Structure 1
């Protein structure tokens, strides 16, 4: 008996790609993000999920709305699925962050780092473990989806695989991707990572014939 947990990253947002949005208010989906969300929704038709959770951040709630329409379930806001609290870094551009030694430390020593005025990686991992344990306690079997953020997905996978936080950059988590875990009391297994097949543009038949 196991739970199939689908960890979903929100679709593409409308702010610059080199901006660390964090928990900023007013970050909406881009037009491409709306398309990605619709494609993601089609992966979870009516009856496919037993529960749908979402981060409170708007870009997650907007992406989750496409799943609500598809699977017929309301998305329940869970603060444990929230984005990392990046504190003073929220809203800054990555080129500017490269000059901050604290940003360098964050990326070189994730197991002990902390965002200035924000969350430590130790607190992040504890929050994610509590999220997984809480979902498993309520749903020991079936299928549950969580609309969340790249770092939450990475941290979940690292926890299940028994890897340190420093291994975060070995995992790609794309917008509107699906990562699936099988969870049971006392253990878990990674079943799928960064599945984006649903948002890939179809290859024209003429190109397929000439390949």
Structure 2
């Protein structure tokens, strides 16, 4: 029994590249992001999806909604797909974070460094991997779309490739990209990484 996961990073928003949004509320897609979400819906509409799941955050929900509508599937919220909990860092500009020694420590050893009031990369990785296994048990032989966040998808891919959590920085997962993962009793296989359905200005 194998389950195929289309791991989708949410589309672009106006704070992209400037602010560590984390789980802060009110981060929604801009015009480019809405166009990306529409392109994603067209890209995945013919994949025979059995379900569409998304992180609880607005930007993920807004990315997943056109796909759910296009395929006639209900959009289901899955907390396991939520962004890493960055605690007190959420909402801070990257420019300010670069002056924080704790931020430097996080980027050097994410597997053991905890953001203030947040979770480590290993904790986030365990959370999302449990979520994928639960979906595999629930759906069995099926193809599922999961709309999540860059770091969560990178942690899943790193695990599938047998890499440590800190290796997540070695590859790119861009806005509105699709990475395909197959999960079976025998383990995991990465079929594709960082496919772009929409090549806009910030994609």
Query: What TM bracket, shorter-length normalisation?
Result: over 0.9
Aligned to 2:53: 53
Within 2, Cα distance between the matches of 1:43 and 1:66? 11
* Distance change in 2, residues 1:195/1:47 (3 Å): closer
Q: Output one character per residue of 1:153-200: Cα deviation in whole Å (capped at 9) or x when no partner.
A: 00110111111011011110001100000110240100000000x213
Q: Output one character per residue of 1:101-137: Cα deviation in whole Å (capped at 9) or x when no partner.
A: 1111110012211111111222112102101111111
- What is the SS of the residue equivalent to 1:119? coil
The alignment covers a number of residue pairs equal to 200
Within 1, Cα distance between the matches of 2:103 and 2:46? 43
Aligned to 1:122: 122
Within 2, Cα distance between the matches of 1:16 and 1:121? 21
Range with greater deviation from structure 2 (53-62 or 133-142): 133-142
Let me know the Cα RMSD of the aligned residues: 1.3
Aligned to 1:146: 146
Within 2, Cα distance between the matches of 1:166 and 1:158? 9
Aligned to 1:192: 192
Look at both structures and tell me which one has the larger radius of gyration over its CA atoms. 1
Gaps of 5+ in 1: 202-211
Paired residues of 1:55 and 1:83 also in contact (CA < 8 A): yes
Aligned to 2:40: 40
Q: TM-score, normalised by structure 2?
A: 0.94
Cα offset, 1:16, TM superposition? 5.2
Within 2, Cα distance between the matches of 1:133 and 1:185? 10
Paired residues of 2:47 and 2:143 also in contact (CA < 8 A): no
Paired residues of 1:6 and 1:181 also in contact (CA < 8 A): yes
Q: Does 1:70 align with 2:100?
A: no
Give the structure with the higher percent strand: 2
Range with greater deviation from structure 2 (51-60 or 135-144): 135-144
- What is the SS of the residue equivalent to 1:43? helix
* Distance change in 2, residues 1:47/1:120 (3 Å): closer
Within 2, Cα distance between the matches of 1:52 and 1:32? 22
Aligned to 1:85: 85
Q: Output one character per residue of 1:17-58: Cα deviation in whole Å (capped at 9) or x when no partner.
A: 310001111111010000000000001226721011100000
Paired residues of 2:158 and 2:168 also in contact (CA < 8 A): yes
Paired residues of 1:140 and 1:184 also in contact (CA < 8 A): no
